[in-house]
Amino acid sequence: MIRVAVAGAAGRMGATVCEAVDGAPDMELTGRADPALGVDLAEVLPGADVVVDFTRPDTALANALQCVEAGVHVVIGTTGFDLEPLRVARGANVFVAPNFAIGAVLMMKFAAEAARHMAKAEIVELHHDQKLDAPSGTAKRTAELMAAASGDGEPPIHSVRLPGLVAHQEVILGDLGQTLTIRHDSIDRVSFMPGVLLAVRRVGEIEHSPLVGLEHLL
C-alpha cells in the first residue's frame, strides 16, 4: 500500500484527490493537510510515502521543499510558481505536471507537432474565475513545447476567467487560407485523477528529480 497525504485537501482539486486515493486499491489516504481543516503539512508527513499538493502558487514551493527534506516524495499539481529551487532539492523525488488530464497532454503534443508546419499560432486558455494564476501552467507549457518544436518564438496566450468554466484550452494555428484548432475541455475534475494516481505510483522510481510533465510517465 502506498501511504498518501494530500496538501490542500479541502480545496476543489484536493478533495477530489482524497476521494480518488480513497478509492484506489493500492493506496491508503493517511492525511488531509489544509489550513481550512486546521491540519498543518508537518502533521501528516510522518505517516506518508507520497504527498499530493494542490494548494496555492504562494505555498506550493515551501510545501514541496518540506516534503523532500522529510524524505517524502511529492506530486505537485499546483501551478504558477517557480520550479527552479526544486532542482537542487535532494532527499526524495518531485514530480510536477501543469495538467494531469490525458486529453490535455495529447493537446500539447498535437499542438507542438502542428507548430512545426503552420505559420503562426495563438493560445486561448479558459478557466473558472477562482483560479489564482494567469496564464495557466498548461498554456505556458504548451507555448514552450510549441516554441521548441517550431524553432520560432512562443505563441501569445489569452486568458479567460469566467464562472461556469472548469479548465479549457484552444490552440489556434493559422496559415495561408486555413486555420487549425486543437481544443481540450476538462468538464469535471475527475479528468485529472487517473494522471494523479499514476504519478503517485511512479514518483518513487523517477531517475531525475524534479520531473515535469505527465507525458514522461505514459
Ligand X SMILES: NC(=O)c1ccc[n+]([C@@H]2O[C@H](COP(=O)([O-])OP(=O)(O)OC[C@H]3O[C@@H](n4cnc5c(N)ncnc54)[C@H](O)[C@@H]3O)[C@@H](O)[C@H]2O)c1
Specify the residue, 150 or 195, whose C-beta has the smaller distance to ligand X.
195
Options 127, 140, 168, 184, the catalytic residue? 127
In the β-sheet with 120-127, what is the strand arrangement from edge to edge?
157-161, 120-127, 167-175, 178-186
Half-sphere exposure of residue 99: CA atoms within 13 angstroms, side-chain side:
27
CB of 215 to ligand X, least distance (A): 13
Which one, 116 or 161, has the nearer CB to ligand X?
A: 161
Polymer length in residues for the chain:
218
Beta carbon of residue 157, minimum distance to ligand X (angstroms, whole number): 15
Q: Is 71 helix (H, G, I), strand (E, B) or coil?
A: coil
Q: List residues binding ligand X (CB under 6 A).
A: 7-8, 10-14, 33-36, 41, 54-57, 59, 63, 77-80, 97-100, 131, 133, 167, 192
Residues 6 or more apart whose Cβ sits within 8 Å of residue 23:
none
Is 131 a known active-site residue?
yes
Q: Could you tell me the smallest distance in angstroms from the CB atom of residue 75 to ligand X?
A: 10
Residue 35 Cβ, how far from ligand X at the closest point, in Å? 5
Q: Cell numbers 504558477 correspond to what residue? A: 80
CB of 168 within 8 A of CB of 184?
A: yes
Residue with smaller CB distance to ligand X, 31 or 155: 31
CA separation, residue 11 to residues 26, 36, 212 (Å) = 24, 9, 23
What whole-number distance in Å separates Cα of residue 28 and Cα of residue 12?
A: 20
Spatial contact of 29 and 4, defined as CB atoms under 8 Å apart: yes
127 is catalytic: yes
Nearer to ligand X, 1 or 187 (CB): 187
Tell me the residue number closest to ligand X, measured at CB: 11
Q: State the nearest-atom distance from the C-beta of 174 to ligand X, in Å.
A: 28
Q: Which residues partner with 182 through β-bridges?
A: 171
Could you say which of 73, 131, 140, 168 is catalytic?
A: 131
If the CB atoms of residues 79 and 150 are measured against ligand X, the closer one turns out to be: 79
What's the grid cell of residue 8? 490542500
> Could you give the residue numbers annotated as active site?
127, 131
